[in-house]
Structure formats: C-alpha cells, structure tokens
C-alpha cells in the first residue's frame, strides 16, 4: 500500500525483504531478497535509493545503520532502536513524562515474583522485544501462573506491566516532517479479538477534549523522539477518563487502513510525503468510517464469497496479495463510510459475515 501510494506520486520503489512472499514486490521496480543480517546486501540496496523507510519495526539496528551509511533512514535508527524494545520504549516514555502503566524489567523468576508483589495481579508479562498482535505476552491472574509464565519467556528478557482497567483502546497516527511540521489523523477507536485488531472506527466515540488530548500526546511523543516520518501511538482510555500510552509503532498502522477510503490523504501517502520531504497532506475525515480485518481464518471453508461482501455498494475491499492464508494472518480488510460511526461498523461487520 505504501508502494502504491509512492507510485501514484511518481516515485520508483525498491524493496528489501528477507521473505519471498512480499506483496510489495508486485508493485516495486526492484526487490532485494536477503536476510536483514546480510549487511553487504543491505548496503547494495541502500546505494540504489534516495531514502529508506520501513513498515515493520523488528528490523535489526545494524540493518538500519548500514542503510544510513548511504542515505537518510526515516524514521531514523534511534527511533527504531527505542520502539522495537518494550523496556526501552516504556523507559523513554516515562523519562519524558508521558503517561504509561507502571512496569518492571524481568530477567529472572525472582524479578517476576517481586514485580507481581509490587504492581499486583492481574498484570501482563511480555517479551521485551519482537512482539506484536498479542505475540509474546500473557496475562497473569494469580500467583500459581508465575512459574509457567516465566518459563514461557524462553530465556528472553521480559517486562511486567500493571493491568490497566480501560474503557476502550484508541490510536493516533501522526506524521512529522524534517522541519518539524506535524499532522495527525482523527483518533481511531479499536476493538481486538484474540489480541489482534478486529474492527476500527473513526471518529472515535470519545469526548472532543479527549480527542484533542490524544492528538497532542501524539505530537509530544513524535517531537521528543525527533521522528521524521510516521509514528502510531496506541493508548488506553481508562474508566476515569485518562489516557495511558500502551505502545508505539514507527510506521503506518493497521488501525489507519480506513484512511485509504475515508480521508483526503491516506496514511501511506502521508508516509511518502513525510520521508520524501513533501508537504504533508490533509488528514481530514470525509465521513465516519470503519474497517474490519480479514484474517486467514476467512478462507477456512474455501474461497471467500467476495461478491456477497460487495453486494453493499458502500463496501470497499482491500486484499494484500499474500500467497497463502493462515489462521490469524492479516490478508486484507473491508472499509465502509456512512452517516455515523455505528452505521459504518454495522456495514463492515455485515459484509464480513456474508463472506
């Protein structure tokens, strides 16, 4: 989707990807297929382009550094280094005064036992790195679960976070240019199923002052990190009306996919504009909109009936071109715009059910 947006603006695209199944290859002018750790291949890639960006934060710092020897990397390696590791991320946010849930570093069973005493149960144990869509995390509800949960880390550094009693989850996709210009999309309200984003709606059904506060929180974080490009801030809205930062993603975000059909400029075009030095586009929402993810589970009974979903002329279908469908794998999404957020949600859920 980034490559398509870049192509529309007249750019040529080179892709570096360890996997052979990369949808961007169908759009790119050239694809480099090698492990991220093959720094000679990484440098060969960087020499062919004018700027590098990424759509996945779990890229080794050495890979980003190798690219930066030749061209700008946006966001830069420092942003990547902080946001790809939960302890570094939470520590940065806390040190900068941004609201986060209390947390502790976990390197031993004794650390976890002490953390649960200090922060209480329930709580969430996560791997400090290489986790997304619920991977590498577990909710602990009583002390008897502690030994098995620690063993589940498999020797990897962990982080234990106090449980947040939240009313809903929201996200803000913000963009920032080299000269510090900032723009944020309307706040997205997110509902998850099995730790994977299921449905997003915008505008979020929160008070206007909370929407403004979420955008300003996003602005502050992008400025503190010195981001050039896009960064998504995932937040909890607590039951007493506070915002607590959950995670950062230095890229476009699944919750922002509805911008493809609902906003003047989509998040992918905004990423192109930000990293290539163009003025940012309008983030205005044309109409209330909702998005429903399509996971590989949709294929479990055979090819989905796309014509049934598209029998509603207001539904838009986006398929990512991945070679194989697996349970839990994001294969595409549906979006709808409507008079109200509730009508948009009903439309995409109804279309997905008809598949």
For the cut 60, the answer to whether the pLDDT of residue 111 exceeds it is: yes
DSSP line for 100-156: B--EEEESSHHHHHHHHHHH-SSEEEEESBS--TTTTEEEE-SGGGHHHHHHHTTT-
Residues 159 and 128 sit within 8 Å (Cβ to Cβ): yes
Tally of CA atoms within 13 A in the half-sphere of 165 that contains its CB: 6
Whether the predicted pLDDT of 134 surpasses 80: no
Q: At what angle do helices 208-225 and 86-95 cross, to 10 degrees?
A: 110
| pLDDT range class, residue 42, cuts 50, 70, 90 | very high
CA separation for the pair 247, 83 (Å, rounded)? 8
Give the pLDDT score at 9: 97
Confidence of residue 225 (pLDDT cuts 50, 70, 90): very high
What pLDDT shows up at residue 230?
98
Stretch 132-154: mean pLDDT: 87
User: What SS3 class is residue 260?
Assistant: helix
Secondary structure (DSSP) of 302-343: SS--HHHHTTSTTEEEEE---S---TT-EEEEEEEE-SSHHH
Pick the range with the lowest mean pLDDT from 20-24, 52-56, 272-276. Answer: 20-24
pTM for the whole structure = 0.95
Lowest mean pLDDT among 8-22, 65-79, 103-117, 166-180: 8-22
User: Beta 137-140 vs 123-127: how paired, if at all?
Assistant: antiparallel
In whole angstroms, what is the distance from residue 289 CA to residue 203 CA?
Answer: 7
Check: CB of residue 72 under 8 Å from CB of residue 52: yes
Residue 16 pLDDT greater than 80, yes or no? yes
pLDDT of residue 323: 87
pLDDT class for 110, splitting at 50, 70, 90?
A: very high
- Statement: residue 57 has pLDDT above 90: no
Domains observed in the chain: 2-73 (3.40.50.20), 102-162 (3.30.1490.20), 166-353 (3.30.470.20)
Summarize the confidence of residues 211-236 as an average pLDDT. 98
pLDDT bucket at 133, cuts 50 / 70 / 90: low
Residue 318 pairs in a beta bridge with 333
- Cα 18 to Cα 15, 38, 84, 291: the distances in Å are 10, 10, 18, 29
Instruction: State residue 224's pLDDT score.
Output: 98
Confidence check: pLDDT of 311 > 90: yes
Q: How would you classify the pairing of strands 289-295 and 330-337?
A: antiparallel
Average pLDDT of every residue of the chain: 96
Mean pLDDT throughout 251-264? 98
Tens-place pLDDT, residues 80-99: 999 999 999 999 999 999 99
Residues 6+ apart with CB under 8 A from 68: 52, 76, 77
Task: Please report the pLDDT score of residue 129 as a whole number.
Answer: 85
For a pLDDT cut of 90, what percent of the chain falls above it? Answer: 94
Residue length of the chain: 355
Q: Give residue 19's pLDDT band: very low, low, confident or very high (50, 70, 90).
A: confident
Q: What percent of the chain has pLDDT over 70?
A: 99
Report the C-alpha gap between 271 and 12 in whole angstroms.
15
């Amino acid at each position: 989707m980034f490559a398509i947006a870049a192509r529309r603006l007249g750019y040529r695209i080179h892709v570096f990807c360890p996997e052979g199944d990369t949808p961007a290859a169908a759009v790119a002018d050239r694809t480099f297929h090698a492990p991220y750790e093959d720094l000679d291949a990484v440098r060969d890639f960087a020499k062919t382009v004018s700027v590098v960006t990424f759509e996945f934060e779990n890229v080794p710092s050495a890979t980003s550094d190798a690219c930066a020897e030749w061209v700008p990397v946006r966001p830069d390696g420092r942003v990547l280094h902080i946001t790809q590791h939960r302890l570094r991320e939470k520590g940065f946010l806390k040190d900068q005064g941004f609201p986060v849930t209390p947390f502790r570093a976990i390197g031993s069973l004794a650390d976890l036992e002490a953390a649960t005493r200090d922060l209480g149960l329930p709580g969430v144990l996560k791997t400090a790195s290489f986790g997304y869509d619920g991977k590498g995390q577990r909710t602990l509800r009583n002390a008897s679960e502690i030994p098995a949960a620690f063993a589940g880390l498999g020797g990897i550094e962990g982080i234990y976070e106090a449980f947040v009693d939240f009313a809903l989850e929201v996200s803000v996709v913000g963009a920032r240019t080299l000269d510090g210009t900032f723009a944020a999309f309307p706040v997205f309200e997110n509902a998850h199923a099995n730790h994977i984003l299921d449905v997003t709606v915008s505008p979020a059904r929160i008070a206007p002052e909370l929407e403004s506060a979420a955008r300003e929180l996003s602005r502050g974080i992008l400025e503190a990190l010195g981001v050039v490009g896009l960064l998504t801030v995932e937040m909890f809205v607590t039951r007493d009306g506070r915002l607590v930062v959950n995670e950062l993603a230095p890229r476009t975000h699944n919750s922002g996919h509805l911008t493809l059909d609902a906003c003047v400029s989509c998040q992918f075009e905004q990423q192109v504009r930000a990293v290539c030095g163009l003025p940012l586009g309008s983030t205005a929402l044309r109409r209330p909109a909702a998005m429903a993810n399509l996971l590989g589970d949709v294929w479990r009974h055979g090819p989905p009936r796309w014509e049934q979903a598209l029998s509603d002329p207001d539904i838009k279908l986006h398929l990512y071109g991945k070679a194989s469908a697996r349970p839990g794998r994001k294969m595409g999404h549906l979006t709808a715009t409507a008079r109200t957020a509730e009508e948009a949600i009903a439309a995409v859920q109804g279309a997905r059910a008809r598949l």
